[in-house]
Chain A
Amino acid sequence: MSAGAGARLTLDVDAGDGWIGELAAGETLRIIDLHGNQAVDTLFFDAGDYANRFSAVDTLREQGNAYLTLGSRLLALDLEPLVTIVADTCGRHDTLGGACSQESNVVRYGEHTRHMHACRNTFLAQALAWGRGLNKRDLPANVNFFMNVPLTAEGGLTFEDGISAPGKYLDLRADRDTLVLISNCPQLNNPCNGYDPTPVRLVVW
């Protein structure tokens, strides 16, 4: 279906803001990169057992590929899918680069970035607002939708720009009742947001 008609939720999330909410099994979440080159840091949890959460390394190993794309099943620790990418006009998404934090910003860019806004602060703020005991223990390696982090055969890891563009989107179908936690990345120190973080649109039907 086209997003919009019949949607139960349509929400624009500003850069530096976040969202947390549940998808019922069978529902679809569309994430639209409205202005292009915007990293959307995302975590998924089994809605009935938050300890059974998205596992990046299990997901990559079981699909035999280091990147997420159309058809990727995002697995929980029980090796069963939480959500599946059922449409994708971008083509490649990262799950090894992680979310920025104040502390990792200091390591990567220097002390002057300590008090710049960061995804893990958004994750924590959203988790606190959600309640139900969700906290820092529940923040493993996340997905970065619309972000391109190629690995090299020699064991390198690079941050590249330029795969996403205005209007690109992906659809995630919930394979079970799933809690979704999103930080629309505020990072200003690298090209993951084109040095200009912008809003994304969420549509659920």
Chain B
Amino acid sequence: MTLIDGILPPAASWSRICLRGTALTLTDVEGGANVSALLYRACDRLERYCMPDTLKAQHVSRLTAGVALYSDMGRVLASLTHDTCGWHDAITGHATAAHVAARWGAASYQQARNDWRRSARDGLLVELAKHGLGARDLVANVNFFTKVAVGDAGDLAFVEGNSAAGAAVTLRFELDTLVVLCSVPHPLDPAPEWSPRPVRLQIARVDATTHEDAVRRACEENERGFAATEAALR
């Protein structure tokens, strides 16, 4: 059952407490979107999405279907249950106002009204502030729909065309989670023109995660992570 169906406009921010038993699907409407995301446990915002714990528990550096997003307390905040994009970035952060000005040129609200060029840093911080959070809560974010490839020597390269129009990824929440999103382009995006993209956000009720669940069964670490998550609900 769909609870919410809306559009996050280009270069905009959004936050909501997403409940266990629901799933959020992000759809790259036009292709080439970037959505920077941060997650916090709703009842204890000191507990937050942790990039290193997520990567090392599952021995991954990319995020896609089958991957769990871990908190820094050994619990799963959300599972990536479906993904038609194939690669979401976890290791290259988000754009600051300096990036936007240097890459595409600044445009203030006074000049451009609601097409002003906001940065992901500013958008995330303002959204965090609505929940009493701030710079100390700003940790390594996910970039949905973005791929930054890693070469043999560690060199990083933004991959154009990673996300086609209609690409979608679904986060199923395993705990009540504060989700903060921002649709500003990635700072490594080589697009010569400022071209932020809209993203469709749909929230639906979903069945409880079973013991046979594909994300839970993906590795022994996830079996333990899901067990720890359920233990916190007792």
Contacts and interface: CB of A to CB of B under 8 A. Distances in A.
B135 interface: yes
Interface size class of B (residues with CB under 8 A): 35 or more
Contact of A157 (B60, B96, B135, B152): B60
A26 to B, nearest CB: 25
Interface in A85-135: 92, 96-99, 101-104, 106-108, 110-111, 120
A151 B188 contact: no
Contacts of B123: none
Contact of A98 (B46, B56, B93, B228): B56
Contact of A140 (B46, B96, B98, B139): B139
B74 A101 contact: yes
A22 to B, nearest CB: 19
Contacts of A60: 91-93, 156
A106 B61 contact: no
A12 interface: no
Nearest to A106: B74
Nearest to B63: A155
Nearest to A94: B52
B35 to A, nearest CB: 15
A142 B52 CA distance: 9
Nearest to B70: A107
Contact of A57 (B60, B91, B221): B91
Contacts of A202: none
A153 interface: yes
A65 B154 contact: yes
Nearest to B140: A57
Contacts of B214: none
A58 B51 contact: no
A136 B141 CA distance: 18
Interface stretch (A28-36, A48-56, A163-171): A48-56
A58 B61 CA distance: 16
B140 A103 contact: no
A49 to B, nearest CB: 9
B149 interface: yes
A104 B74 contact: yes
Contacts of A103: 72-75, 228
A141 to B, nearest CB: 5
Contacts of A66: 91, 150, 154-156
A47 B152 CA distance: 36
A96 B228 contact: no
A78 to B, nearest CB: 8
Contacts of A96: 51-52, 55, 61, 91
A128 B195 CA distance: 45
Given A66-B154, A96-B91, A56 B140 contact: yes
Interface in A133-160: 136-142, 149, 151-153, 155-159
Given A64-B155, A66-B150, A107-B228, 4 more contacts: A55-B93, A136-B46, A141-B51, A156-B61
26 contacts: A52-B135, A55-B93, A57-B92, A57-B93, A58-B93, A61-B93, A61-B188, A64-B155, A77-B138, A92-B154, A98-B55, A99-B52, A101-B73, A103-B74, A103-B75, A104-B74, A107-B53, A108-B56, A138-B136, A142-B52, A151-B150, A153-B149, A153-B150, A153-B151, A155-B62, A157-B56
Interface of B: 46, 50-53, 55-57, 59-62, 64, 70, 72-75, 87, 91-93, 96, 98, 134-141, 148-156, 187-188, 221, 224-225, 228
